[in-house]
Structure 1
Amino acid sequence: MDENPSEHYKYYWHAKTEKGGRIIKCSMGLSFLYMPFFLMAHGYAIIFDYNTNGFSSPYRFFLLMSSLFYYAIGLIYLRKFLKNYFKDKIIAFTLLSIALGTNIIFYTAVRSCMSHAYTFSLFALFLYFSYKWHKNPSIKSTIIIGLLAGLISLVRPTNLLIIIVFALWNVQSFTDFTHRIVWFVKKYPLIILMIISFLLVWIPQLLYWKTISGDWFFYSYQDEGFFFTSPAIIKGLFGFRNGWLLYTPIMIFALVGLFFLRKKLSIFRVPIIGFTILNIYIILSWWCWWYNGYGNRAFIESYSVLSIPLAAFYTRISQKRWLSVLIAGIVLILISLNIFQTYQRKKGIMSSDSMTK
C-alpha cells in the first residue's frame, strides 16, 4: 500500500452529493475510536521516518492494536457487569464461548478494523454503566451513558436499539412500564443531561454533513435500504449464505437461555427479549442481509447483551453434572469448528458472501 499512493482513494468508501461532492459513506464513530491510535502511529511515523500518509505500516499496526485494545476492554467490563449476577466459573465459560466460539474472533484478528469488536466493547460498557445508573443514578454515570449511546449510534445508527435495554431495565409488566415512565419523568434533569451528552457526540457528524452536502442530515447509503415487509429471517439465521446461527451455532445456547431469565435475572427478560427480536428483524431487513464477511457480522455487537442469557443457560445446565459435561464437550467442539472456519475464511477457502452449502 505504501508503494501505490494513487490507489488510496479506493479505501475511502464515499457517496456523491447532489452537487457532485464526495462524502464518506460511514458515519464517523469509528474515527473517534481510531483517533488515539492514529495519533500514536502518526508520531511514530514522523520520528522513524515512515510515510505519513495514514496508510504506511505504523498506521496499520496501531489500528490493529486498537481493535485488540477495545476488544480487551469489552471483555473486562463485560466480566465486571456479569459478576453482579453470576459465579466466576460461569462467567469464565461464557466469555470463553464468546471470545473463541463466535465470529468476533475473525473481526478482531483478521478484519480487525471493522466496527464489530469496537461496538462489542461499547455495548459491554453501556451495560456496565446502565447497571450503575439504575443502582445509583449519578451525574457521572448519566453523562457516560449519554456519550456511550451517542458513540454507539455514531458507529452504526441501528445499534441505538441498545437503548431498549436501558429504558426497560427491570420492567416485567405493564404496571412496571408505567412506573418506569413516571420515574424517568421525575428524573428529567438527568434524562435531559443524558440527551445533551448524546447530541454532543453527533455534533461533528452534523457539521460534516452540513459542510459537504449543505444539509444537516445526509443519507449516505443512498439507494441502499431496508425491506421491512420482507425480512430474510430464515435465510439470515440458518442459510449457508452467512446465516448467523449456522456459522455461530454456539449462540443458540444464548437464545435458549432467554427462557432461563428468572428470579433475579427476570429484570432482563423483557428488555433482552425485546432487543433481540427487534435486532434480528432490523438486521435481516437490510437489503444485504448476508452482510459480506464471515457469519452474519451484524450480530456481533449484540453478544454483550446475549452474554446474559448465555450465562443463564450455563447456570441452569450446571445443576446437573452429566448435562454440564455434555454441553461443555459440545462447546469445545463448536469452538474448534469456529477456529477452523475462521482459518478457512482467512485463506479464502470459504466465500465471504456466496456459500451455497
Structure 2
Amino acid sequence: MKKNLWIIFIAFVYFAGFFAHALYLKKAVYGDGIFYYSWLRSGVVDHDIDFANEYSHYGVAQPPTPLGYAGNKYSVGPALLWAPLYVWTHTLMMGYGYSLPYELAAGFTSVSLALVGLILLYRFLAKSFSKQASFLAVAGIAAATNLFFYGSLDPVNSHALSFFAATLFLSLLAQKNRSWFLVGAGLGFLALFRLQDVAYALILFTHLGGGRKILIRILLGFSSVFVWQLLAWQTLYGTIFSNPYMFGGEGFNIFRPHILGVLFSPANGLFLWTPITMVGIFGLFWKKSWGYIAVFALELLLIASWSTWRQGASYSGRMFVSILPLLAIGLAHIYAKILKLRFGRQIILYSLTLPLSVLNALFILRFLLNN
C-alpha cells in the first residue's frame, strides 16, 4: 500500500474512533478535558473567566484563587486552538456551549492537529533517515503508542495538541535557515499546552554558541507566545508567578521520584503499556542523541516527582505524549539499521511494528471496558 493510502487509512481510523466513541458516550468532554474546555466555553459564551457555572454543569470543582474565582490550573493553550471551529459552531447554533456539537468541534480540531503532527514528524525524520525508516517510525507512533488513544478517542485534552506543538517546534529547529525568534515562539507555543515541555529547551543549549543574540531572540519569541498563559494566570490568580499546581495540597518532591512506578506500573506504566516507547528510548541511546535523552530524563523526573504521579485515569503515561516525537527519532534509527540487513529484515520489521500495534489496540480496548 502506498504511503498516501496509509495516511488516509490512519486518518480514517483516528476520526472514526473519535466520532464512534463520542457518539456512544454522547459526550466528548470529561475528566481533565472539562477544565481545558472551561477556558473555551467561558471565554466564548460568557465572555469571562468565572468557571463556576461550567464546574457546576459538569459536577467538578477546583480550589478558589486568591481573587475569589474558581481556580483552573490547566493551561489555556488548548482553548486557543479549539476556538476557531468552536466559535463557528456557536455562530451557527447560538446555544449554551455545552451540547455535543460544541464538544465535537473541539475534539475534531485536536484529532486534525494530531494528524498534522504525524505529517510534520514524517517530514522532520525524512531529513535524517530514509523515507521508509521515517514512515515506519511514524506508523509506530500512530498505531502503537498512547497517541492513538489521546489523538483519537480522548482528544478534548492537552495531549494531542502538545504532540502537534512538539513536532512543530522540532520542524522549526530543523530548518536550514532557521529563525531563532520562531524557534523561541515554537517553544513558547509548546509550553502553552503543558508547562513541563519547557524541558525541550535543553535541545537548544547546543546551539547557544552563537552568543547572546541567539538567546535574546529565543527569549523574545518564547515570550511573544507564552504571554497568553501569563495573562491567564494574572487575571485568574492575580500574579504571573502563580503555580496553580501547588494549590490544593499538590506539589513536587524531586528527592523521592516514583520513576519505576511511572515507567512500569501495572496501572498505566509507560513502558509496560506501550512497550514501543522503550524501543524508542533504546534507539536514542544507540544513536547517542544525548540532548533528546536529557529532555526525556527531565520530563520523567518532573512527572515522577509530582504528588499525583499516577496521572489519574491515564492510558499508559499520558504525560509523555509530547515526548513521542523524540522517541520516533530513536525508532527511525532502529528501523534504518534493520533496513540495511541483507536477510530477514521484513520479518524483523513486521515482528516489531505489527504485534506492538495489535497489543496497543487490545490494551486500549481493555482500558475502555474497565473505565
TM range (shorter): 0.7 to 0.9
1:140-171 CA distances to partner (integer Å, 9 max, x unpaired)? x3332222211211211111111112333xxx
1:304 deviation in Å?
0.7
Partner residue in 2 for 1:331: 353
1:218 equivalent in alignment to 2:242 = yes
Q: 1:40 and 1:226 mapped to 2: Cα distance? A: 40
Partner residue in 1 for 2:154: 111
Partner residue in 2 for 1:191: 215
In 2, are the aligned partners of 1:13 and 1:25 still within 8 Å (CA)?
Answer: no
Q: Match of 1:136, as an amino acid?
A: N
1:19 deviation in Å?
4.5
Q: 1:102 and 1:13 mapped to 2: Cα distance? A: 31
In 2, are the aligned partners of 1:149 and 1:198 still within 8 Å (CA)?
Answer: yes
Kindly report structure 1 stretches of 4+ aligned residues shifted beyond 6 Å. none
1:35 equivalent in alignment to 2:76 = no
Q: 2:317 and 2:236 mapped to 1: Cα distance? A: 33
Q: Match of 1:343, as an amino acid?
A: L
Question: What SS does the corresponding residue of 1:344 show, helix, strand or coil?
Answer: helix
1:247 deviation in Å?
0.2
Runs of 5+ consecutive residues of structure 1 not aligned to the other structure: 169-179, 352-357
TM-score by length of 2: 0.79
Which of 256, 259, 262 is residue 285 of structure 2 equivalent to? Answer: 259
Q: 1:73 and 1:153 mapped to 2: Cα distance? A: 19
Runs of 5+ consecutive residues of structure 2 not aligned to the other structure: 1-25, 28-40, 42-51
Q: Match of 1:314, as an amino acid?
A: Y
Q: What count of residue pairs does the alignment treat as equivalent?
A: 317
1:206-244 CA distances to partner (integer Å, 9 max, x unpaired)? 333333333232222212111211111112111202111
In 2, are the aligned partners of 1:235 and 1:241 still within 8 Å (CA)?
Answer: no
Q: Match of 2:92, as an amino acid?
A: Y
Question: What SS does the corresponding residue of 2:71 show, helix, strand or coil?
Answer: strand
Q: 1:116 and 1:15 mapped to 2: Cα distance? A: 23
Partner residue in 1 for 2:258: 232
1:27 deviation in Å?
2.3
In 1, are the aligned partners of 2:338 and 2:348 still within 8 Å (CA)?
Answer: no
Relative distance call for 1:70 and 1:28 in structure 2 (3 A) is same
Q: How does 1:21-60 map to 2 (within 5 A)?
A: 21-46=69-94, 51=95, 53-60=96-103
Partner residue in 2 for 1:294: 315
Partner residue in 1 for 2:367: 345
Question: What SS does the corresponding residue of 1:291 show, helix, strand or coil?
Answer: coil
Question: How many percent of aligned residue pairs carry the same amino acid?
Answer: 28
TM-score by length of 1: 0.82
1:144 equivalent in alignment to 2:161 = no
Question: What SS does the corresponding residue of 2:68 show, helix, strand or coil?
Answer: coil
In 2, are the aligned partners of 1:82 and 1:308 still within 8 Å (CA)?
Answer: yes
1:93-138 CA distances to partner (integer Å, 9 max, x unpaired)? 1111110101111112221111111111111111111011xx323x
Q: 2:192 and 2:93 mapped to 1: Cα distance? A: 29
The 10-residue stretch of structure 1 (89-98 or 206-215) with the greater mean CA deviation from structure 2: 206-215
Partner residue in 1 for 2:331: 310
